[in-house]
Structure 1
Amino acid sequence: MTRFFFVLLSLLLSSGLFAQSNRQENFNSDWRFLQADELQFRHVHVDDKQWKAVTLPHDWSILSDFGAEFPAGNAGGALPGGIAWYRKTFPIATADKGKHITIHFDGAYRYTEVWINGHYLGKHSNGYLSFSHELSSYLHYGGKPNVLAVRVDNSQQPNSRWYSGSGIYRDVVLSYKDVTHFIPEEVFVSTPLVSKDEGTVRVRASIANPANQKLTAAFSLIDDKGKVVAESKEKMQDAAIDAIFSVNNPKLWDVSSPNLYRLQMTLLTAQGKVLNRFEQRIGFRSIAFDVHKGFFLNGQQLKLKGVCLHHDLGALGAVFNKSAAKRQLLIMKDMGANAIRTAHNPPAPALLDLCDELGILVYNEAYDMWQKRKNKFDYHVDFKEHHVADLQAFVKRDRNHPAVIMWSIGNEIREQFDSTGTVLTKEMTAVVKALDDTRPVTAALTETNYEKNFIAQAEALDVLGFNYKFEDYDKLPKEFKGVPLIASETTSGLQTRGVYDALHDTIQFWPASSKDKFVTNGNPDFSVSAYDNVAAYWGTSHERAWLEVKKREFLGGIFVWTGFDYLGEPVPYPYPARSSYYGIVDLAGFPKDVYYMYQSEWTEKEVLHLLPHWNWKAGEMVDVWAYYNQADEVELFLNGKSLGKSQKTAERLHATWQVAFAPGELKVVKYRDGKAVQEQIRYTAGAASQLKAEVTHDDFVTGDKTDLYFVEVQLQDVDGHAVQHDDIELTFLSADNATIVGTDNGFQADLRSLSSPQRKTFKGKALAIVRLQDQTRAGSIRVKSKLGELTVSLLPKKTE
């Protein structure tokens, strides 16, 4: 009888018979937008001609030209804030009257107020957290339209140490449920027992049950083939569920095989009527941190090879796009990264979905400051009133993701230097633990003396993260006894892709100390050499940072600052620099040379990368490097003549030569057991004479209508050699079924708007981001330049 019940229930659910009473509607289309202050809004709000049609997610700041006049400064991306309004008119069917209808915002920056049909629903202050409002009581049903109005205020600046974006920059969803339903944020699914032989699933949930009905909760666990592998049901005595059931031989979730299951949860009346269904993806995995041996996933020791990522997506600004985020994550994963740190605020929920799917571990961070400010108008002004509720919302939102392995309650918090840090650490750790008892709580710290570190003195954190100060690593286990440790932020190396200055024997610090706001001996063109020898004064080179973590087993892992360049915080330069130099990959998504150092250390791929380019002045002495792995040595040849062999050392992760430039062919050969196994060549290139375009799309397809195409343009000479010394202006033109969304070249001081279809190449490269209006059919764009015109075809990925 029980088996029959579940089979029947599964058929009913898959048939869609209950879809109308339990459904979600993408609410991103058909919005109107008006950027205006209060007086302007009152004057024009009834004149629809003044409002622009927009599709969400939307960031109005990124559409602007960069400028020195904006109050956020170049630390905030040299882009404007302001106040704007969004409005959407929509119908609700008569049949939906009596349902529980809510509007859900994944994120809007910054202060967000919502009205429905003139009724004020409330204000949300945290620009990085999701929030919802129930609309049911104020809706018109049938023919009369409903008007949703949203005011977003990002006028008080500076309020961030990086680019925040402005607007409803993440997804919006309208949901319909029976009035009796699972409360989504109160559903917590964990896996207390995880082994190859057996896994247990624990479901803790709260139910909205206004009629106090007698209910049954049914659970079906479904694998990736659609097979039900475990079932359970439980009669409900009150509005809470705490159910446990098991599954045999679960496929474990890990970084190489991110196996996911779907848990279907169904509410039924005593008579068997389905009231509500809630579905949650889960993964079976165990995590642990050890004082001596670092991090363990599913019982296996694993070094966390992580990067810090800011929330912007380059030319898209703060707009979250799943395919663009997937592109970032796959570029990091191909480099060998197995973890990310969300710096320094909650990410888009869909980013965590991607990490679940791709097998990327997440150090999930809530705050960059507490009650002591870092900027005049930052979150400290809201901390006292909202930090507990915001922290609760953060944990509830993200606790069902198997990818999330740590909760961070703060980054470089200034309260670590006084006793308020102890009180607040205890308070916030208790808040997290009350909602999730399965993951460790941490914070990213800078003070490495226990007696001076009041956050550590709370002795409430499960793991301590330390930023920079690698020279103190060996004293950490003595200062902070019995607590697992990680390098929560390292490096702050500075580089511009494709720029190569003469090397020096020691690392250069730009700026040199905290006394200097900007570098005093930098490059006039606002570039930084791509040799790994420049860092902010608090940091070090990429090689040194990784070596110091690599050789210490007690450190659970590293999180490099940063995986990608990001808008804002353009250390070491003033304006016109407007985006960071920290990334291993530039803002356009083009890897810098150091990317291959990590790939050679963090992966089993065959890696051989030669730098720099080979266009110099005759006789000029050039430092030549090679990153490589799985080899005994590498040998350099110039025009067929050997310049000698070189190897990595215990303290240097690249081979190196000094070479007098002569035009022609520079080649490096990798040897393993005496045999040549790989080579790479750099040619002296002539003037740019043609364009080569590569379209990347298929790997980043998410199935969403907003999937993007990334058109990477490379300059070549007449022989097809890459050109890095002869940049030209490009114009990207929308053509058949295609729209140019943005362009970029990765240069941190390019002041042309990232929404412009014109872009000059930088060191031979440029990027166009393109959307097809109809994702089911092909499209094309044109690229115009003084070299002629190139048509680029965009083909939808073929379904299997």
Structure 2
Amino acid sequence: MIQIKNYLLLLFISLIAVVNSNAQSTVTRSTNFNNNWKFYLGEDKDAQGTAFNDAAWRTLNLPHDWSIELPFDKSSPTGTGGGALRGGVGWYRKTFVLPDMTKGQHVFIDFDGVYCNSEVFINGHSLGIRPNGYIGFRYELTPYLQYGNAKNVLAVKVNNDPQPNSRWYSGSGIYRNVWLVTTGNVFVDHWGTYISTPFIDDKFAKVQIQTAIKNVSDKKATIQIKHTIYDATNKVVAGSSSGAVQFNIEAGGVLKDSIFIPLPHPHLWSVNDPYLYKVETQITRNGKIEDRYTTTFGIRSCKFDVNDGFSLNGQHLKIRGVCMHHDLGCLGTAINTDAIERQLRILKEMGCNAIRTSHNPPAPELLELCDKMGFLVMDEAFDIWKKAKNPYDYHLSWDQWHIRDLQDQVQRDRNHPSVIIWSAGNEIPEQWGDSTDNSGTLISKELAATIQAMDSTRPIVTANNETASWNKLLVSGAFDITGYNYHHSEYADVLKKWPGKPFISTEAVSALQTRGSYDMPSDSIRRWPVRWDIPLTTGNADTTCSAYDNCSAPWGSTHEETMKVVEKYNHISGLFVWTGFDYIGEPTPYEWPARSAYFGIVDLAGFPKDVYYMYQSVWTNKTVLHLLPHWNWRTGDTIDVWAYYSNADEVELYLNGKSLGIRKKMGDDLHVVWKTIFEPGTLKAVSRKNGQIVKEETIKTAGAPAGIQLLTDKKSISPDGTSLAFISVQVVDKEGNPVPYAANDIQFTVSGEGFIAGVDNGSQTSMESFKANHRKAFNGKCLLVVQSKDKAGNIAIRATSSGLAAASLSIGVQ
């Protein structure tokens, strides 16, 4: 009864508060500041000064990754682990003017991420250095600005040296977005809102809004605060009073306010229905609006249970996730919303419902898309604590920066409904240590306390590759969930070793595959190399790994080996497969000339490998029937034919119309196999349920390469200078059949209102530039990425190759 009375009172306050003010003012504005920068690769004396002449420097738009533009280099100090692409020192400069009307306002510059060791200058004055390449940060420019016709110069020095400072490809430069922010004297502080929902039922949700409001003037300010909640259709559904309470903020002070607002009949956020609300926070002083600040949020409840795993909104849900590094293939690390959305769309189609941001704070755009598209997120902070993994990595900055970096990450990301777990570290060396080394325990407790002080609504985990009972992180008791990297054979009994805490596989599998390459016999599993610290002495001469699910790193497993365990036990909350996509760097099991990872379910260009369909058959309700390998072999060869299928009882295989037999999955098997003698022609699979045909798939022996097929993911893109279209390029024979061995060099001509942003083919060993106007097909395929200019029109694309019929495509820019 008390709860109902409180609800009615809050609802009454909410309804009378939803009024619009006619007061006028200049409120906080955030403007994209990416265009027309000058760039120079190398050190340049006095480049921070206003008098410096940068006329000879290159003009470009941000985000920008200079390393992806460089040639692959065996002697690069980054090593193949870093993608064999050099770092170095780079300078960026932007000249801008501010109108006189801007005087009296406060001007800030926000960087979403700069890799790494950035120093920012305004008109020759250093604003600070930020070592961490993954976290966003803000500086105030106001004291050093000039107005009217006077020019201001913003300069950024980026020092991605010395190397190695990363275990994977980091990219170099201002690779995330930059924003110019102007405010009045009183405004919502940077990342200044925190929204949680401590109570949810069918009738209402109690929305708690905590707000940090800053007064940067030299006088005390008296203000009113109003919050208005909008649903996904932009309809006002709840709010707070705009004038009932006044607050005083001392000069130079920060007010921290907290209020509960009832939201009737909440529409819950979920992976299948990612419903979002937004709240507008309005600050008024003396009848004048000082600031409006919008925060997007979702309403959902999450629970990790020791025995029953994970539940979302009271419904059991297996976390079916992948780990993702932050590079975008041929685009490098230069962030692009369309590119991230394409990756997530491909993963969503596979049945993936979760992303682990391995092993660093992600771009804001990734979390925004996860909110919108319905992905759960494990938001990870560190790959290194105080003990090093590389000579020049984050351990050098740990003492001075780790608390600030972690606080900034949590404060920035805690309003995202997609974020369900904080990860404080990955495979941290402090797991180990003798009886006198207690650093792992002490740091664990410090990090957990830091996160909990800023967000107590989500559990905290570390990703541990050591599972022994003396693991310093696990025995610290600091973390809410037990997290294992690999060790899938221990998942069944993990609760006996670590009782009382839920369990999740924070990283799993590490299978190795090259798209379109097959090693037989397929039932012989290759562990390459034999141990993590022993170089590979076997392997394939062409540096490929089998796309049958029969090759893995020694610390991992095949996909099917781990999948069987995770799907079997309810106490396993889920897993994050290493990895969703291939990424630049860490080319296990090989070294040079390999320069990209083999771990992905999807290759670097975004083309699914065969095992993608195994996941789709288990993780979705789709009717799946996928046949592998291709059907171009030598006559008389014995070929292993696999089929992944779902929603069927059996699959029958035909070769040139003759049945090769019916196969049914036995026990917990996730595929079926035939061994047959190759003869050219047509291979056909038919799946049936209750005797009725469910689906058919056909593969034909291809003839010689004869033509090119182009397929775009979008028929039109926006004229905003950043939108992308991804064009898949397939080499076909004269009948239109894909040619699985084709390696033709495809030339691209792009004209009109677009340009080539990148090319790729998914090969882990190709040394061709990602920024060229041509690309060799790899196992029959390559990729062209086209970017819009800033004017409406059309983009004309033509693909040619010697001896092949050309192909053309038109994309609208509108």
With the length of structure 2 as denominator, give the TM-score of the two structures.
0.94
> 1:194, 1:298 within 8 Å by CA — same for their partners in 2?
no
Q: Does 1:621 align with 2:633?
A: no
Query: Tell me, which stretches of 5 or more residues in structure 2 are unaligned?
Result: 1-12, 250-254
Q: CA deviation at 1:782?
A: 1.7
- The residue that corresponds to 2:694 in the other structure is 677
Q: Does 1:386 align with 2:401?
A: yes
Q: Which among 248, 265, 280 is matched to residue 281 of structure 2?
A: 265
Q: Secondary structure at the match of 1:21?
A: coil
> 1:507, 1:540 within 8 Å by CA — same for their partners in 2?
no
Q: Secondary structure at the match of 1:182?
A: strand
Give the aligned residue type for 2:483.
G
- The residue that corresponds to 2:4 in the other structure is none
Q: CA deviation at 1:267?
A: 0.5
Q: Which among 417, 421, 442 is matched to residue 461 of structure 2?
A: 442
Q: Does 1:490 align with 2:496?
A: no
- The residue that corresponds to 2:452 in the other structure is 433
Q: Which among 443, 454, 463 is matched to residue 472 of structure 2?
A: 454
Partners of 1:188 and 1:445 lie apart in 2 by 30
Q: Which among 333, 339, 343 is matched to residue 354 of structure 2?
A: 339
Q: Secondary structure at the match of 1:681?
A: strand
Q: CA deviation at 1:262?
A: 1.1
Partners of 2:402 and 2:307 lie apart in 1 by 34
Q: CA deviation at 1:552?
A: 1.3
- The residue that corresponds to 2:377 in the other structure is 362
Q: CA deviation at 1:753?
A: 1.3
Q: Secondary structure at the match of 1:251?
A: coil
- The residue that corresponds to 1:577 in the other structure is 594
- The residue that corresponds to 2:226 in the other structure is 218
- The residue that corresponds to 1:477 in the other structure is 495
Q: Does 1:235 align with 2:241?
A: no
Q: CA deviation at 1:791?
A: 2.0
Distance change >3 Å, CA 45–CA 417, structure 1 → 2: farther
Q: Secondary structure at the match of 2:416?
A: coil
1:611-690 → structure 2 map (5 Å cutoff): 611-690=628-707
1:265-664 → structure 2 map (5 Å cutoff): 265-269=281-285, 271-418=286-433, 419-450=438-469, 452-517=470-535, 519-664=536-681
Distance change >3 Å, CA 703–CA 739, structure 1 → 2: closer
Q: CA deviation at 1:95?
A: 0.7
Partners of 2:329 and 2:425 lie apart in 1 by 25
Q: Secondary structure at the match of 1:570?
A: coil
What whole-Å deviation, never above 9, does each CA across 1:56-96 have from its counterpart, x for those lacking one? 00000000111101100111000010001000000111111
- The residue that corresponds to 2:796 in the other structure is 780
Q: Which among 141, 145, 169 is matched to residue 147 of structure 2?
A: 141
What whole-Å deviation, never above 9, does each CA across 1:226-275 have from its counterpart, x for those lacking one? 11000112533551111111111011000000000110000012x32111
Which moved further from structure 2: 768-777 or 98-107? 768-777
Give the aligned residue type for 1:683.
K
Partners of 1:37 and 1:774 lie apart in 2 by 32
Partners of 2:317 and 2:90 lie apart in 1 by 47
Q: Secondary structure at the match of 2:591?
A: coil
Distance change >3 Å, CA 629–CA 796, structure 1 → 2: farther
> 1:323, 1:702 within 8 Å by CA — same for their partners in 2?
no
Give the aligned residue type for 2:77.
P
Q: Secondary structure at the match of 1:183?
A: strand
> 1:116, 1:147 within 8 Å by CA — same for their partners in 2?
yes
> 2:709, 2:731 within 8 Å by CA — same for their partners in 1?
yes
Q: CA deviation at 1:528?
A: 0.9
> 1:362, 1:406 within 8 Å by CA — same for their partners in 2?
yes
Which moved further from structure 2: 191-200 or 607-616? 191-200
What whole-Å deviation, never above 9, does each CA across 1:599-636 have from its counterpart, x for those lacking one? 00000011110000000000100000000001101000
> 2:750, 2:795 within 8 Å by CA — same for their partners in 1?
no
Which moved further from structure 2: 202-211 or 761-770? 202-211
Q: Secondary structure at the match of 2:310?
A: strand
Partners of 1:4 and 1:274 lie apart in 2 by 19
Q: CA deviation at 1:461?
A: 0.5
Q: CA deviation at 1:46?
A: 3.2
Partners of 1:606 and 1:625 lie apart in 2 by 17
Q: CA deviation at 1:292?
A: 0.2
- The residue that corresponds to 2:38 in the other structure is 32
Q: CA deviation at 1:194?
A: 2.0
Distance change >3 Å, CA 27–CA 396, structure 1 → 2: same
Q: CA deviation at 1:788?
A: 4.0
- The residue that corresponds to 1:751 in the other structure is 767
Q: CA deviation at 1:212?
A: 2.2
Q: Secondary structure at the match of 2:473?
A: helix
Partners of 2:228 and 2:810 lie apart in 1 by 44
> 1:101, 1:176 within 8 Å by CA — same for their partners in 2?
yes
1:163-202 → structure 2 map (5 Å cutoff): 163-202=169-208
> 2:48, 2:124 within 8 Å by CA — same for their partners in 1?
no
What whole-Å deviation, never above 9, does each CA across 1:406-438 have from its counterpart, x for those lacking one? 000000111011321110000000000000011
Q: CA deviation at 1:39?
A: 5.2
Q: Does 1:8 align with 2:20?
A: yes
> 1:104, 1:133 within 8 Å by CA — same for their partners in 2?
yes
Partners of 1:583 and 1:216 lie apart in 2 by 52
Partners of 1:100 and 1:21 lie apart in 2 by 11
- The residue that corresponds to 2:70 in the other structure is 64
With the length of structure 1 as denominator, give the TM-score of the two structures.
0.96
Partners of 1:92 and 1:165 lie apart in 2 by 32
Q: Does 1:52 align with 2:37?
A: no
Which moved further from structure 2: 552-561 or 39-48? 39-48
Distance change >3 Å, CA 104–CA 374, structure 1 → 2: same
Partners of 1:255 and 1:293 lie apart in 2 by 19
Q: CA deviation at 1:45?
A: 8.6
Q: CA deviation at 1:665?
A: 0.5
Partners of 1:792 and 1:389 lie apart in 2 by 49
Give the aligned residue type for 1:221.
I
- The residue that corresponds to 1:120 in the other structure is 126
> 1:196, 1:252 within 8 Å by CA — same for their partners in 2?
no
What whole-Å deviation, never above 9, does each CA across 1:325-373 have from its counterpart, x for those lacking one? 0000110011000000000001101110000000100000000010111
Which moved further from structure 2: 767-776 or 414-423? 767-776
> 2:115, 2:170 within 8 Å by CA — same for their partners in 1?
yes
> 1:338, 1:360 within 8 Å by CA — same for their partners in 2?
yes
Number of matched pairs: 787
Which moved further from structure 2: 414-423 or 311-320? 414-423
Query: Tell me, which stretches of 5 or more residues in structure 1 are unaligned?
Result: none
Q: CA deviation at 1:37?
A: 2.1
Which moved further from structure 2: 306-315 or 766-775? 766-775
Q: Secondary structure at the match of 2:793?
A: coil
Give the aligned residue type for 1:752.
E
Partners of 2:16 and 2:571 lie apart in 1 by 53
- The residue that corresponds to 1:792 in the other structure is 809
- The residue that corresponds to 2:9 in the other structure is none
Partners of 2:329 and 2:786 lie apart in 1 by 14
Distance change >3 Å, CA 473–CA 276, structure 1 → 2: same
Distance change >3 Å, CA 393–CA 55, structure 1 → 2: same
Q: Secondary structure at the match of 2:20?
A: helix
What whole-Å deviation, never above 9, does each CA across 1:262-302 have from its counterpart, x for those lacking one? 10000012x32111011000100011100000001111110
Partners of 1:5 and 1:196 lie apart in 2 by 23
> 2:798, 2:808 within 8 Å by CA — same for their partners in 1?
yes
Distance change >3 Å, CA 310–CA 639, structure 1 → 2: same
Identity %: 45
> 1:56, 1:171 within 8 Å by CA — same for their partners in 2?
yes
- The residue that corresponds to 2:10 in the other structure is none
> 1:503, 1:531 within 8 Å by CA — same for their partners in 2?
no
Give the aligned residue type for 1:502.
M
